[in-house]
Amino acid sequence: MKSPNVIWHPRLVNRGDRERLNKHRSGVIWFTGLPASGKSTIAHFLEKELFDRGIRAYVLDGDNIRHGLCGDLGFSREDRRENLRRIAEVCRLMVDAGLLVLAAFVSPYREDRRYVRERVGDGAFFEVYVKCSPETCEKRDPKGLYRKAREGKIQGFTGVNAPYEEPENPDLVLDTEEDDLETCVQKVLRMLSEKGFILLL
C-alpha cells in the first residue's frame, strides 16, 4: 500500500544528464532461459567487456538477488511474481542512474517479463532469450539442481516440475548449444550498438 504522504522528490540531475556524462544510454538487457542455460555466465562476461570499454554496467543475478533483497521469498508462483516486481523497481532506479543493467533471471512466465518491460519502459528494455534444451542444461548443471528436482528434493523447479514459457518475440536469441560464449557476448554488443545504446569502435 502506498501512503498518500509519500511523494516522489524532483531531481536536479536526470537520466539524460547521466547518459551524456557516461557517453552511452542506459537500459536493461534481460536474459531469460532455463536454469543452467548460460544466462549468468554471458551476463558476467558481457559486463567485463563493457567495463573494459568504459561503459557503466552492472549484473543483477537471480541467486545473488535472493541473498538479500529477495531473501524472504520462495519459489511459489506468488513469490516468483513478487521477486520480479522488486527486481523491476531496482532496474528502474539503475536505469535512471545511467547504467546498463544486465539482468539474468529464469523468469519463466511471459506475463512477468512483460510486466518488467512495461515498468522499465519498452524503449530501454531488451529481452534476450538464452536458448538451450532441458537435456543440455541438465548435463551442464553445476549445482545438481535438476537431479535433485527429479529426485523430488526440489519442488517447483523450472524445466522439471514447473513450466518455462519461451519468449514469443525476443529482441535477441542466443543459442548456447550452437554459439560459444564469445559469440554470444559479441551478438549482444552488436545489438546494443545497432540500437544506439553504445558505440563500438
Q: Which residues are annotated as catalytic?
A: 107
- Within 8 A by CB and 6+ apart from 75, the residues are 155, 156, 157, 162
The four Cα atoms 131, 137, 140, 144 give a dihedral, to 10 degrees, of 140
E strand residue ranges, 40-179: 57-61, 100-104, 125-131, 172-175
Q: What are phi and psi of 28, to 5 degrees?
A: -120, 125
Indicate the pairing of strand 57-61 with strand 125-131. Answer: unpaired
- Cell numbers given for 142: 553445476
